[in-house]
Structures are given as structure tokens and as C-alpha cells.
Amino acid sequence: MTARERVKQLIKVWPKVYPDAHTELDFRNPLQLLVATILSAQCTDKRVNMVTPSLFRKYRTAKDYANAPQVEFENTIKSTGFYRSKTKSIRGAMRAIAEVHGGRVPDTMEELCALPGVGRKTANVVLGNAFHKNEGVVVDTHVIRLSQRLGLTKHKDAEKIERDLMKLVPREQCADDLIKFEMHCFGVTILCVLNQKYHQECDNRRSSVDDQLPGVGKMKSRSRKKPDTNDKHSSSKCPGAAEHHGRTAREVAFLFVLF
């Protein structure tokens, strides 16, 4: 099966498997989404959503963010990690938006990428979710790994992978849930099935996958550790748990058939 044929099948299957896929970041307007996306770098969406409510109440305009006291802002977002660089990026981007764009988040790839601290990944998230524009594909860690696993790319660089995916995916699908979220969700699910830690929910999936497709469930998995109820990756909090993705082991196994 060629990469193009595989993508064609996935386009049909993924919306059925992940019918409610959507961005996990909470936002009400493009400005909030831009801030949340910058904060989400090397941080879980869940953690970002814990930080942004108070942030959005305090800072409502681009000028508010640009004039925010640096130390105060850093302390507010500290739990998201890399808080100094994120503060610099957010304040810089908001200053440019206030001074150059009249306080409104630009809606083109070129203008967004010209903002301090904003790259194609962040720009694609904002364009696709706030403006519903098909400019490209959001390529994060999960999309990178899954694209390589599916044989859709041989590259490791995010921008090169994005170009490869855009050649395979119809333009009208680029900002669709298919690539942005289903691919991300399934990438997380795969990582959970193959995770080196012992997650009861994921372990059940691993066993079921291996029962239906011998060898697949154990692929690249490492030795298991005993469950730790206080572990942040325990089954109740694992990103592959049913409450997050609603995927059964049977559905995971079914999608493995496509590979």
C-alpha cells in the first residue's frame, strides 16, 4: 500500500474513530488561542487550561499583555515550564500585534510567523482553529512519530514533514480534525499502548492488540513497572485513557491493520 493510498483510507476511517476530536486548549478568541498555544510548548494542554482562566481575566487585550510586568507574568505562567522564554514570546508577540496590527491577531501565515516567538506550528493552530483557514498541518511530536511510523515521511524536521503531509492530504482536509487532532490523538494512544510504564488501561489495550494482531501490541514496548497510584501517568490520568480518547482496544487494533 502506498502512502497516498494509506492516507486515503485514513481520511475515511479517522473521523469515525475520533468523531469528537477537537483542540484541548480552552479559548474564546484568536488572542486567547495564541497565548494558550505558546504556553502549550513542552507542556500539557491540561496544565495550560489550569493557568489560562486567571490569565485571560487579567489580560484582555494585546496591549495588556505587552505591558504586563515581566516578573509578575513569569510567576503566573511558571507551572507551564520555560516560563521566561514564554513570557518573552508572549509579550513580544502582543507588542507587535498592538503596534503593527491594531490589536487584532493577524490571519495569514506570513504575518503570524513574523510575530516574535511564533513559528509555523503555532501559526497553523491559530489559523486552523480560530480562523478556519487551510494553510498547513500542525506537526507536533505525536504527528512526527506517527507520520514516520505510517511511512508518510522519511524526514525528522517538522517543516519538511509538513510539506510531505500536504502533498498527500487534500487541501480541504489540512485544517480538518483529521490531521490536526485525530492524528495527534491516535499518536498519543499508540504511545500509551507502547509505553514503558505500566498503565492498567493502556496495558489492557496492549494485551488486546497483541491478541488480535500477534506481535503488534508488544512492539518496542519495554519492561513494565508496577502501577503507582500516585504516578501522574496512572490509568486515571494517562493521556490514552478512555475518558480522554474513548478508544477501545478493538478500535486501536483495527487501525493498526491499516499500517
Residues annotated as catalytic (active site), given as ranges = 121, 140
Write out the DSSP string of 177-215.
HIIIIIHHHHHHHHHHHT-SS--HHHHHHHHHHHHHSTT
Comparing C-alpha atoms, which of 20, 19, 13, 15 is closest to residue 256?
A: 13
User: Which residue reads 493498526 in cell numbers?
Assistant: 256
Cα atoms in the Cβ-side hemisphere of radius 13 Å centred on 195: 26
* Pairwise CA distance, residues 87 & 240, whole Å: 30
Helices (H), the chain: 3-17, 30-39, 45-58, 62-66, 70-77, 83-100, 109-113, 120-130, 141-149, 158-168, 177, 183-193, 200-212, 242-245, 249-257
